[in-house]
Amino acid sequence: MAIRICDMHCHILPGIDDGAQDMDETMAALHEAYEQGIRAVIATPHYYPEKYEPDGSTIRQLLQQVKLRCREEQLDIRLYAGQECFGYSGLVDKLNRGEVLTMAGSRYVLTEFSPDCAYAQIQQILTLLQQGGYYPILAHFERYECLEHEERIQELKNRGILLQMNYDTFLKKPGWFRKSQWQKMLQDGTVDLVGSDCHGTHYRPYHADDAIRWIRKNVDTEIQRKIFVKNVHQILRKE
């Protein structure tokens, strides 16, 4: 099955957060992404109050510079702007003012929390986003200790929250990763989106190829299409 993979969670813009530190590292990461089968990328630099606060115009300018380098190096990969936003009470206002970016100009918002955050905090912030007319995507949902109870994961899904898992999660078991559980959630359709969470070529480099092969071998075709095509296209088409 030929599917054009879009990496919808990565930190490859140069010098803007804890991801790629310069343009050379950005381009090396993108070439590696292409070699591993990725043909589109939504760049999602962190928005974290008082730590990483890049404005939307800076992100777009950097993205244009990266697009130019891709053309110069004949790297045929599509690039879109987004952000990974730390969930807090002021996020909706930031989004409304355009100071923080949604995913590829859509109403989808990639949202993260501290790994040890309370479940009530996740519920509260995601509810505020939905009330503001946004569609939350919970970034690397497997990281949150409060979601060890699977009924909470299902509760979020029932409320329309999209769940994003990192590629590394279901292949490795460091710390809070429970590999067999996450593999099952891919196979039963719990997971809505997968992303690399790549931070360049040194810290969290691309390891998408093994994960993509595992999904293609072990996950039902229709669920693959949902993860790789349908849900990503809804973001890119602003549906």
* Whether residue 106 has pLDDT greater than 70: yes
Q: Is 131 exposed, middle or buried (0-12, 13-18, 19+ CB in 10 A)?
A: exposed
Beta bridge partners, 163, equal: 138
- Identify whether the C-beta of residue 168 lies closer than 8 Å to the C-beta of residue 207: yes
Would you place residue 133 in the very low, low, confident or very high pLDDT band (cuts 50, 70, 90)?
Answer: very high
Give the containing element (helix H, strand E) for 39: strand 38-43
Average pLDDT over residues 7-18: 97
Please write the tens of the pLDDT for every residue from 65-104: 999 999 999 999 999 999 999 999 999 999 999 999 999 9
3-class DSSP state for residue 182? helix
Would you place residue 192 in the very low, low, confident or very high pLDDT band (cuts 50, 70, 90)?
Answer: very high
* Whether residue 1 has pLDDT greater than 50: no
User: What's the number of domains the chain is made of?
Assistant: 1
pLDDT value for 172:
67
Give the containing element (helix H, strand E) for 26: helix 23-35
Please write the tens of the pLDDT for every residue from 163-188: 999 998 877 655 444 667 888 999 99
Tokens of 66: 């990266």
> Containing domain of residue 203, as a range?
5-236
Residue for token digits 């777009």?
Answer: 60
Instruction: Look up the CATH number of the domain holding residue 12.
Output: 3.20.20.140
First to last CA, the chain: 25
Tell me how far apart the alpha carbons of residues 22 and 190 are, in angstroms, rounded to a whole number: 36
pLDDT value for 204:
85
